[in-house]
A = this chain, B = another copy of it.
Amino acid sequence: MSSIRIAEPADWPAIWTILAPVFAAGETYAYARDIDATDARRVWMGKPEATFVGETSDGTIAATYYLIANQPGQGAHVANCGYVVAEAARGAGWASAMCEHSQREAVARGFRAMQYNFVAETNDGAVRLWQKHGFEIVGRLPGAFCHPRAGDVDALVMYKRLTESGAD
Protein backbone atom coordinates (compact mmCIF):
# COMPACT_ATOMS: atom_id res chain seq x y z
CA MET A 1 0.00 0.00 0.00
CA SER A 2 1.21 3.44 -0.67
CA SER A 3 -1.01 6.52 -0.66
CA ILE A 4 -4.53 7.85 -0.92
CA ARG A 5 -5.00 10.99 -3.01
CA ILE A 6 -7.69 13.02 -4.74
CA ALA A 7 -8.82 11.34 -7.96
CA GLU A 8 -8.10 13.16 -11.20
CA PRO A 9 -10.20 12.92 -14.36
CA ALA A 10 -7.48 10.80 -15.96
CA ASP A 11 -7.98 8.19 -13.22
CA TRP A 12 -11.51 7.37 -14.37
CA PRO A 13 -10.67 4.36 -16.61
CA ALA A 14 -8.78 2.72 -13.73
CA ILE A 15 -11.58 3.56 -11.29
CA TRP A 16 -14.20 2.11 -13.60
CA THR A 17 -12.18 -1.10 -13.89
CA ILE A 18 -12.50 -1.39 -10.11
CA LEU A 19 -16.17 -0.42 -9.86
CA ALA A 20 -17.64 -2.27 -12.85
CA PRO A 21 -17.42 -5.85 -11.49
CA VAL A 22 -18.65 -4.76 -8.04
CA PHE A 23 -21.68 -2.89 -9.42
CA ALA A 24 -22.43 -5.75 -11.84
CA ALA A 25 -22.34 -8.29 -9.01
CA GLY A 26 -24.90 -6.17 -7.15
CA GLU A 27 -24.18 -7.67 -3.76
CA THR A 28 -22.92 -4.61 -1.91
CA TYR A 29 -23.97 -1.38 -3.64
CA ALA A 30 -27.41 -0.22 -4.70
CA TYR A 31 -26.68 0.80 -8.25
CA ALA A 32 -28.37 -0.63 -11.29
CA ARG A 33 -26.35 -3.75 -12.07
CA ASP A 34 -26.18 -2.75 -15.73
CA ILE A 35 -25.10 0.84 -14.99
CA ASP A 36 -22.89 2.12 -17.79
CA ALA A 37 -19.59 3.96 -17.48
CA THR A 38 -21.18 7.38 -18.08
CA ASP A 39 -23.71 7.05 -15.29
CA ALA A 40 -21.20 5.40 -12.98
CA ARG A 41 -18.78 8.26 -13.51
CA ARG A 42 -21.50 10.74 -12.65
CA VAL A 43 -22.42 9.03 -9.37
CA TRP A 44 -18.83 8.31 -8.35
CA MET A 45 -16.98 11.42 -9.58
CA GLY A 46 -19.61 13.96 -10.62
CA LYS A 47 -22.03 14.28 -7.74
CA PRO A 48 -19.73 13.78 -4.72
CA GLU A 49 -17.85 16.58 -3.03
CA ALA A 50 -14.63 14.63 -3.57
CA THR A 51 -13.40 11.32 -4.93
CA PHE A 52 -10.18 9.61 -3.92
CA VAL A 53 -8.00 6.78 -5.15
CA GLY A 54 -5.63 4.49 -3.32
CA GLU A 55 -2.45 4.01 -5.29
CA THR A 56 0.25 1.41 -4.75
CA SER A 57 3.92 2.31 -4.81
CA ASP A 58 4.14 1.21 -8.46
CA GLY A 59 1.33 3.58 -9.45
CA THR A 60 -1.49 1.04 -9.70
CA ILE A 61 -4.89 2.32 -8.59
CA ALA A 62 -6.12 -0.31 -6.16
CA ALA A 63 -9.06 1.33 -4.39
CA THR A 64 -11.39 4.30 -4.55
CA TYR A 65 -13.90 6.15 -2.43
CA TYR A 66 -16.20 9.16 -2.66
CA LEU A 67 -17.21 11.65 0.01
CA ILE A 68 -20.47 13.63 -0.09
CA ALA A 69 -22.86 15.40 2.27
CA ASN A 70 -25.49 12.80 3.11
CA GLN A 71 -28.31 15.38 3.06
CA PRO A 72 -28.52 19.01 2.01
CA GLY A 73 -29.49 21.76 4.45
CA GLN A 74 -30.13 20.53 7.96
CA GLY A 75 -28.26 17.28 7.30
CA ALA A 76 -25.24 18.77 5.53
CA HIS A 77 -22.97 18.30 8.55
CA VAL A 78 -23.14 14.51 8.12
CA ALA A 79 -20.88 12.94 5.49
CA ASN A 80 -21.52 9.82 3.49
CA CYS A 81 -18.84 7.71 1.79
CA GLY A 82 -18.68 4.68 -0.46
CA TYR A 83 -15.53 2.56 -0.78
CA VAL A 84 -14.49 -0.07 -3.31
CA VAL A 85 -11.27 -2.09 -3.37
CA ALA A 86 -10.06 -3.75 -6.58
CA GLU A 87 -10.53 -7.50 -6.50
CA ALA A 88 -6.80 -8.10 -6.88
CA ALA A 89 -5.99 -5.75 -3.99
CA ARG A 90 -8.31 -7.23 -1.36
CA GLY A 91 -6.89 -8.17 2.01
CA ALA A 92 -4.19 -5.52 1.88
CA GLY A 93 -5.86 -3.10 4.30
CA TRP A 94 -7.25 -0.64 1.75
CA ALA A 95 -10.75 -0.60 3.21
CA SER A 96 -9.46 0.31 6.67
CA ALA A 97 -7.06 2.85 5.24
CA MET A 98 -9.85 4.50 3.23
CA CYS A 99 -12.23 4.47 6.20
CA GLU A 100 -9.68 6.28 8.36
CA HIS A 101 -8.66 8.65 5.55
CA SER A 102 -12.27 9.54 4.83
CA GLN A 103 -12.94 10.39 8.48
CA ARG A 104 -9.97 12.76 8.55
CA GLU A 105 -11.06 14.31 5.23
CA ALA A 106 -14.60 14.70 6.50
CA VAL A 107 -13.46 16.47 9.66
CA ALA A 108 -11.15 18.73 7.65
CA ARG A 109 -14.14 19.66 5.47
CA GLY A 110 -16.28 20.51 8.50
CA PHE A 111 -18.42 17.39 8.74
CA ARG A 112 -19.34 16.33 12.28
CA ALA A 113 -20.53 12.79 11.65
CA MET A 114 -20.49 10.07 9.00
CA GLN A 115 -23.35 7.85 7.91
CA TYR A 116 -23.53 4.74 5.75
CA ASN A 117 -27.09 4.49 4.50
CA PHE A 118 -27.40 1.09 3.01
CA VAL A 119 -25.05 -1.68 4.17
CA ALA A 120 -26.41 -5.09 3.17
CA GLU A 121 -26.58 -7.29 6.26
CA THR A 122 -25.03 -10.06 4.16
CA ASN A 123 -21.89 -7.97 3.77
CA ASP A 124 -20.55 -9.15 7.15
CA GLY A 125 -16.97 -8.24 6.42
CA ALA A 126 -17.87 -4.62 5.84
CA VAL A 127 -20.22 -4.47 8.84
CA ARG A 128 -17.51 -5.81 11.14
CA LEU A 129 -14.88 -3.51 9.69
CA TRP A 130 -17.00 -0.38 10.09
CA GLN A 131 -17.82 -1.40 13.64
CA LYS A 132 -14.11 -1.83 14.35
CA HIS A 133 -13.69 1.75 13.12
CA GLY A 134 -16.27 3.05 15.56
CA PHE A 135 -19.43 2.98 13.46
CA GLU A 136 -22.60 1.81 15.16
CA ILE A 137 -25.62 0.16 13.63
CA VAL A 138 -28.31 2.80 14.23
CA GLY A 139 -30.95 1.45 11.89
CA ARG A 140 -32.13 -1.74 10.24
CA LEU A 141 -34.29 -1.53 7.11
CA PRO A 142 -36.30 -4.74 6.82
CA GLY A 143 -35.81 -6.42 3.45
CA ALA A 144 -34.66 -3.15 1.88
CA PHE A 145 -31.74 -4.69 -0.03
CA CYS A 146 -32.74 -6.98 -2.87
CA HIS A 147 -29.69 -9.24 -3.02
CA PRO A 148 -29.24 -11.05 -6.35
CA ARG A 149 -28.69 -14.43 -4.66
CA ALA A 150 -30.10 -14.08 -1.14
CA GLY A 151 -33.28 -12.19 -2.04
CA ASP A 152 -34.58 -9.35 0.15
CA VAL A 153 -32.18 -8.92 3.06
CA ASP A 154 -32.03 -6.16 5.66
CA ALA A 155 -29.96 -3.06 5.01
CA LEU A 156 -28.15 -1.49 7.94
CA VAL A 157 -27.71 2.20 8.64
CA MET A 158 -24.35 2.84 10.31
CA TYR A 159 -23.26 6.06 11.96
CA LYS A 160 -20.32 7.64 13.74
CA ARG A 161 -19.90 11.05 15.31
CA LEU A 162 -16.55 12.48 14.23
CA THR A 163 -14.17 14.26 16.53
CA GLU A 164 -11.37 16.66 15.76
CA SER A 165 -8.84 13.83 15.77
CA GLY A 166 -10.72 12.42 12.80
CA ALA A 167 -9.91 8.75 12.52
CA ASP A 168 -10.38 6.47 15.48
Question: B-contacting residues of A (Cβ < 8 Å)?
Answer: 26, 29-33, 35, 70-78, 112-113, 115, 117-118, 120, 138-148, 152, 155, 157, 159, 161
Assess the A77–B146 pair: CB atoms within 8 A.
yes
Assess the B115–A30 pair: CB atoms within 8 A.
no
Give Cα A33–Cα B157 distance, bound, in whole angstroms.
26
Count copies of this chain in the complex.
Answer: 2
Assess the A73–B142 pair: CB atoms within 8 A.
no
Give Cα A152–Cα B77 distance, bound, in whole angstroms.
10
Assess the A146–B75 pair: CB atoms within 8 A.
yes
Give Cα A159–Cα B35 distance, bound, in whole angstroms.
27
Residues of chain B lying within 8 A (CB to CB) of residue A113: 142-144
15 A-B contacts, Cβ less than 8 Å apart? A26-B73, A29-B73, A30-B72, A32-B73, A33-B73, A74-B120, A74-B146, A75-B144, A77-B146, A112-B152, A113-B144, A115-B144, A138-B139, A138-B142, A141-B159
Which among B29, B35, B75 is the interface contact of A30 at CB below 8 angstroms? B75
